Amino acid sequence: MKVAITSTGNSPDSTLDSRFGRCSYFVIYDNESHSTEFIPNPNKDSIEGAGPAAVQLIASRGAEKVVSGEFGAKVKSLFDTLKIQLVVLNDPEKKISEIIMLLNHKT
Amino acid sequence: MLIIMPRPKRIRKMTNPPHFKGFRPIALPEENDPIVLNYEEYESIRLSDFELHGHLEASKIMEVSRPTYSRIYESARRKVAEAFVLGKSILFEGGKVFFDTEWYSCKSCGCYFNHPAKEQRMDNCPLCGSSDIVQYSENTQLRPTEGSCVCPKCGLKKVHSPGIPCRNEICPDCNSPMIMEGAPHQHRNLNCN
């Protein structure tokens, strides 16, 4: 299963980005092959509609779970219809590698 | 002519719809007409007899009044009893409901998450896999159970007692109503004095 995580940078040592639509990078983590992919967010500086565009990007990569600090009002209903689970983590200090470690506890 | 029009039904909130269609009695050759159990009736049995909520509590979860909830529950029990006694099958169907996703919080890693696949029960945190999760409701967030009340005039602090709003506490030194510590208006009040 693939999990999308919002990140402030493009290395596993960067921290979780608390914004969803305007985060710097998306991390797509596959917990079967344990591969990570960093995608720069093309909508980082857009004025409007960054959230829905980000949803599309994540859905096209086939992620089933999204970890971020916060989700906007437009995004929540979109994720509900796509059946993608939202995980709100209120900890901007958390590193991407730590989140991946947490995710692996399950399997 | 008198036209009697009933009040429209309030739309009931469903959080966990069943993931199967119904029940059928074992070893009964002829198929008789099934009993239709509405989704709201299923939900009332789930809330009252499975999750063991009181009627008042359950009615708040379903966003209907307490008497309405009791009526739904009564009707649900009668239908279930009828199906049991007469050997009828039960179908889950219809009802005036809307579906809402539930939010949970994990006590072990402190994250919040929702649950879009309603058909499955939520038992584990999607992040750390811990089973120490609680259903998240807005009421628990708004009314803190711990922390302290602070006096806006002299800054005196007092341990908050759960259930009593901070503004009902009176500062013993300057007799002014106290406010919640860390509230957005705390800073403003301290500055004016």
What is the CATH classification number for the domain harbouring A75?
Answer: 3.30.420.130
Average pLDDT, chain A: 83
Q: Do A102 and B112 touch (CB under 8 A)?
A: no
Q: What is the pLDDT of residue B55?
A: 92
CA distances from A3 to A59, A61, A64, B73, B84 (A): 11, 10, 6, 40, 45
CA distances from A72 to A18, A54, A55, B115 (A): 11, 11, 11, 17
Q: What is the pLDDT of residue B13?
A: 81
**Number of folded domains in chain A?**
1
Whether B175 and B153 have beta carbons less than 8 Å apart is answered as no
Distance CA B100, CA B150 (A): 37
Q: Is B180 left (phi over 0), alpha (psi -120 to 50) or beta?
A: beta
B96-145 pLDDT, tens digit per residue, is 777 666 677 777 777 777 776 655 666 777 777 777 777 765 544 444 45
Distance CA B47, CA B50 (A): 6
B108 touches chain A (CB under 8 A): no
Distance CA B47, CA A93 (A): 39
* Distance in Å, alpha carbon of B100 to nearest chain A alpha carbon: 10
Cβ contacts below 8 Å, chain A against chain B, sum to: 49
Q: What is the pLDDT of residue B54?
A: 92
Distance CA B144, CA A81 (A): 33
Domain limits for position A79: 2-104
B116 touches chain A (CB under 8 A): yes
Q: Mean pLDDT for each 10-residue chunk of chain B (193 residues)?
A: 80 78 82 85 92 90 91 94 90 79 75 70 74 64 60 77 74 78 56 44
B122 touches chain A (CB under 8 A): no
Record the pTM: 0.53
Structural domain boundaries of chain B? Answer: 12-99, 103-141, 148-192
* Distance in Å, alpha carbon of A45 to nearest chain B alpha carbon: 27
Going by pLDDT thresholds of 50, 70 and 90, the confidence category of residue A9 is confident
B128 touches chain A (CB under 8 A): yes
* Distance in Å, alpha carbon of B17 to nearest chain A alpha carbon: 15
Task: For tokens 């995608």, name the residue.
Answer: A39
A39-71 pLDDT, tens digit per residue, is 888 888 888 888 888 888 888 888 888 888 888
Amino acid identity, position A78? L
Distance CA A93, CA B104 (A): 22
Which residue in A has a C-alpha nearest to residue B128's C-alpha?
A102
Distance CA A24, CA A6 (A): 8
